[in-house]
């Protein structure tokens, strides 16, 4: 929506500049420069409107307070701003499996992590599902994003401190038990910058599901790493799929290592990845 408004505003601005030049200028070379006026003015206006969009959201982020409800007006602006960034990056998303999102219960959400765009895609396509994510503390210091993450109760986990990490995990478990939020986490623990497959899973993460007695929703995303390489001259087609919802009854007799293996196998099948020996 924001991108469309920016394009329309840019075009109208360009037309306005063209009319002013046409009225006030001479007839010499008019037809030669007409096209350049429109093109240059459109690009310039689009860049200005894009900057203004960033500026408005940046200012909003300074006034966001902790514990604001998820569907607060400012948060909705932030969600659409994320969509705007995705559009600017040339992302075209093929979405499957939205029907697998549980409607009346909270769950644990897991996904494969290869790009900084992964969380943004999840935020947008799960915008109608009340969830929060567990993320590393550094992400809460990012301008614009950090304040919004704090405001909607995202959890910062310090993996260097087992004691602090356990507190966050227990808090996540309570959120699901109280039917307040679903919890989203990357079981690989970090962004996979090298491997074409999956990094090793942190099996302890699945304590969230076992102790909360919650289902596990598996999300797979393909080709997100190509976004950075293709920008700005080539679109990137992403497949965003809610691959499967594992009901708690399917895992209640399994330990966290077995659950981790089960989820990893499903994720690899969906991504067409073969496990290396």
Successive 10-residue mean pLDDT values, the chain, 277 residues:
53 56 53 59 73 82 64 72 88 94 94 95 92 93 87 88 92 96 95 87 95 98 93 91 96 97 96 76
Output the CA angle 198-174-156, nearest 5 degrees: 50
| DSSP SS3 for 66 | coil
pLDDT 10s digits, 62-103: 777 665 555 467 677 778 888 888 988 999 999 999 999 998
| Two tokens, residue 261 | 């293996």
Q: How far apart are CA 187 and CA 265, in angstroms?
A: 13
Q: CATH classification of 90-270 is 3.40.1000.10, yes or no? A: no
Q: How far apart are CA 177 and CA 14, in angstroms?
A: 55
Q: For the whole model, what pTM was predicted?
A: 0.83
| Two tokens, residue 15 | 């037309």
Q: How far is CA 162 from CA 41, 158, 168, 169, 185, in A?
A: 55, 8, 10, 10, 17
Q: How far apart are CA 44 and CA 38, in angstroms?
A: 10
- 3-state SS of 82-103 is HHHHHHHCCEEEEEECHHHCCC
| Two tokens, residue 247 | 């009901």
The domain segmentation of the chain, as residue ranges, is 2-62, 90-270
């Amino acid at each position: 929506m924001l991108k469309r408004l920016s394009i329309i505003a840019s075009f109208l601005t360009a037309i306005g500049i063209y009319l002013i030049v046409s009225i006030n200028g001479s007839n010499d070379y008019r037809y030669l420069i007409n096209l350049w006026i429109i093109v240059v003015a459109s690009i310039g206006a689009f860049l200005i409107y894009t900057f203004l969009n960033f500026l408005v959201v940046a200012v909003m982020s300074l006034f966001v307070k902790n514990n604001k409800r998820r569907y607060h007006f400012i948060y909705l602006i932030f969600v659409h701003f994320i969509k705007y960034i995705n559009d600017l990056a040339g992302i075209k998303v093929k979405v499957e499996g939205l029907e697998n999102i549980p409607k009346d219960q909270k769950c644990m959400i897991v996904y494969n992590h290869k790009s900084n765009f992964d969380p943004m895609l999840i935020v947008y396509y799960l915008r109608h599902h009340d969830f929060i994510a567990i993320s590393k503390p550094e992400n809460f210091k990012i301008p614009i994003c950090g304040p919004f993450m704090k405001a909607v109760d995202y959890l910062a986990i310090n993996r260097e401190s087992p004691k602090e990490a356990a507190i966050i995990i227990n808090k996540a478990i309570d959120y699901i038990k109280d039917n307040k939020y679903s919890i989203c986490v990357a079981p690989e623990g970090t962004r996979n910058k090298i491997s074409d497959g999956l990094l090793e899973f942190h099996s302890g993460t699945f304590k969230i599901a076992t102790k909360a007695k919650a289902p596990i929703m598996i999300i797979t995303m393909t080709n997100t790493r190509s976004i950075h390489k293709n920008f700005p001259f080539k679109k990137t087609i992403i497949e965003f799929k809610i691959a499967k919802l594992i009901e708690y009854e399917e895992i209640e007799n399994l330990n966290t290592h077995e659950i981790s293996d089960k989820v990893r196998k499903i994720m690899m099948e969906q991504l067409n990845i073969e496990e290396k020996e």
